[in-house]
Structure 1
Amino acid sequence: MYTAAVQTFFRELFVEIRTVSLTLFKIMIPVILVVKLLEEVGGVELLGLLLGPLMGLLGLPESMGLVWAATMASNIYAGMLVFFTQPQPEALTVAQVTVLAGLMLMAHGLPIEARIAQKAGVRLGATLLVRIGGGLLFGWLLYLVYGQGGWLQQPNELIWRPEAVDTSLSGWLLMQAKSLLMVQLVIVLLLTALKILRLLGIERLMFWLLQPLLRLLGIGRQATTITIVGVTLGLSFGGGLLIKEAQAGHLTKRDIFASMAFLGLCHSLIEDTLLVMLLGAHLSGILWARLVFALLVIALMTRWMDRRSEAFHQRFLVYR
């Protein structure tokens, strides 16, 4: 009996790993290729020019539009590289770098992450509105608070610069292969850990501890673990699990949208926060203010959703 139980455990685990991996890679690989093509034809530079005037509303130089454009099109690493190579007529303040970092945290890797949200059932327009609109609103609020309070107005000092990156096609292919391999490794470890936690009953304990917060956000029990994974490890992993649960019919439309919207504004709290700190961003904005902002926005959004009809949800938010 013990041997049969172990075999069943590993058989179910293998199926889950295969399902989540194939789902994510079918999304990620084509999008990575399309984004690379857009970069080669100057699409990112064009987006940067369009975003330039918006930067002034947030107290940033127009050149920071290219930084955010690279971040949105690719990832935070790409935005950081552009940031370090941008000539600055005058040093940015810590407040300005924190505002820029807020934009980068809210809206990055959109081609892949928005497609993951779409696969889970959230409409593309709704995702982009939450991510880009939320980023601009968050950055503007940080700009007002820091400006009115006279906080973090000292010049920003860089304590780290990235090493030179191989920009050749072979270098790019090697980097993407390493990234996908790392994604596969994390999926294996993550799903194994989650299955063990579920068997030990720790998943139920986590829900009990987080119940007041999840009730505030309007996120149901079935999406608890997925949301925690996304907040700590990143939207791609949380979104991959969400797709699996949504396709199995285990989640309501409300849970799908609320969870994906929250993860859009607040995910990968550890890695992403540490990354933008290397730019000089202050923890008050990129962690604490970001958490409070995401909690308030999603709490208000779910209550607003409750007042809308089912037809409205299907037309504008979720089509599952």
Structure 2
Amino acid sequence: MERRIDFWRERQMSCGRCDHRWRVDLDWIDRWEQATETCPGCGMTCEHEDSPRVTVDPDDPALDDDRVARFFWYHTSTQADWPTRDFDPAAGLTPETRRMAGGERRVSAWVASQQAKALHVGTYEAAVHNMLRRSRDQADQRSQFYLYRVRLKPSGVVRKRWLVDPGNFVGDVVLDEVCPPGVDVARYLNFHEDPGGLSLALGRDAIASVQRIAVPLPDSWDGGWVRDAVAALEVVSGTVVPANGTPARRVRPSSPRAVLGRELGASLAGRLPVNLQDQFTSASAFAEGEDPEQWARRTSGLAGLIADPTHVLAALDRQDPWQV
């Protein structure tokens, strides 16, 4: 079952000091994060430890335990075989790397800790947000991403009540800590991707099947925007002007084409929800020497994941699911 996808929807806020709850749009949250908005109940700003934060919308249908397994859930990854069967995080370690890590005993302990991590799935919005965040924070701008649509096993047991985001500073969650014996799936409030939405921490055995497509789709761009962007890029020089100054102070300047590419990407980002604009600008950054048409198609396709998810869902519908 597909839920309504809306990157621009309002969010629920809750104040940790006065317990006031109210709804806001993303522009309000952006201003609040810059300390230019306050809690309507007590006047507190974002600078306090118990300041207001997004919280779960009481109307979120995934709060119904019986409906969790009926919904589609999503994940984005650079792995073409997620969730990997017989996952071995040490498979690519060389003997030298194993020695530097402290020997086989420590490597085995590290492998066990990696295999104990929960998998994460969430809303379509959270999956796209995760891809853009990784592009910005983990240098994955040119990586091939895959969007996975996940079906859960109807027999899975859902943990009662949702958790506040249990991830550590890198987002890892130990499965046994959130899904004790007899529990297969735990819901948690996602603060980082699709803030305020419910995501799931679960084990591989809770997944019934997945579908996968590579994103952005190869035919998903806005033809008019791509045509105009390519025409603009092709009339400016792609040659980088030699740097001036002493070697210690020398800064390699960008070419006029690269500068224009960044401006075009930023302009397209301005059409998107404010909480995705920075990540999108980084993900769509124009690289020196990049082919203008390839860049424009990819950039427009990334924007299409947000602006028009219908063609993405249609592409997933055409994929045969496989059992996990």
TM-score of the two chains, using structure 2 as the length reference: 0.22
* Higher strand proportion (structure 1 or 2): 2
Greater Rg by CA = 2
- Larger relative contact order (C-alpha < 8 A, sep ≥ 6)? 1
* Structure with the larger helix share: 1
Q: TM-score, normalised by structure 1?
A: 0.23
